[in-house]
Amino acid sequence: MEFLITTVVAYLVYLLLTIGSGTVALWSTAELIIGAVLAVVVGAVLRNRFIGKDLRMLNPKRWFIFLVYLFPFVWAMARANIDVAYRVITGRINPAIVKIDPKLKNDMSLTILANSITLTPGTLSVDVRPETNELYVHWINVDPEVLKDMPRDYHPICGSFPDWARRIAG
C-alpha cells in the first residue's frame, strides 16, 4: 500500500514537471515510460519514509476541507499584508512571544497551523515544544487582556485556524 501511494505521487509530480513535452495528451511517449520506471524506483526506495504508518491524509474529505480552508486563509493573508504595511509605515509595534496550546495531536496538523500562523495577521511561529505540541508565537501587537491568565486563549492570536487544522489533519 505504501509502495503504491509513493509511486503514484512520484509519477504525478514527474508528469507535472514534464508537461508539454509531446503529443500523447500533453506528454511524449519517452517521458511517460521513463517517468513510470523512475516512479517505481522511487516508490521501492522510499516506501517506508514518505507517509509512514499514517494513512489518514488519503481520505478525500480531508483534501476537500483543505481546499475550502484556502478561502479564509487567503482572506486572512490579505488582511495580514495590509496590517504589516500599516505597521511598516507608522512604526507602531508592541511585540511579545506568547505560548499557546492549540491542543493538536499530530505533526501534520501542527505543521499546517504553524505555517498558517506565520502567514496570517501579526503572528510568527518561533518555536515548538514537541512533547506537548505547544507553539511559541511572536505576536507583533499584543492584546493586554490575553496576557493576564496563563493558559493563553488562542482565539485572539490565531482565530479559528487550530480548528481548521484539526479538521484537515487531526
Partner 1 sequence: MTALNVATYVFIGIGLFFNYVGAFGLHRFPDVYTRLHAATKCTTFGSIFLILAVVMQSAGMWAVEGTHSPQSIMTIHSLLALVALMVTNATGAHAMARAAHRSGEKPARAVVDDLEKKEND
Give the footprint of partner 1 on this chain (CB under 8 A).
16-17, 19-20, 23, 26, 77-78, 80-81, 84-85, 87-88, 91, 93-99, 114-116, 118-119, 122, 124-127, 129, 136, 138, 140, 142, 144, 147
Residue 28 has phi, psi (to 5 degrees) of -90, 155
Task: Determine the Cα–Cα distance for residues 140 and 103; give it in Å rounded to an integer.
Answer: 23
Which residue's CB is nearer to partner 1, number 106 or number 118? 118
Smallest separation, CB 145 to partner 1 (Å): 13
Which residue's CB is nearer to partner 1, number 40 or number 77? 77
Which residue's CB is nearer to partner 1, number 3 or number 80? 80
Smallest separation, CB 125 to partner 1 (Å): 5
Question: What are the C-alpha distances in Å from 135 to residues 64, 73, 99, 104, 152?
Answer: 26, 19, 6, 10, 11
Q: What angle do CA 75, 79, 82 make, to 5 degrees?
A: 140
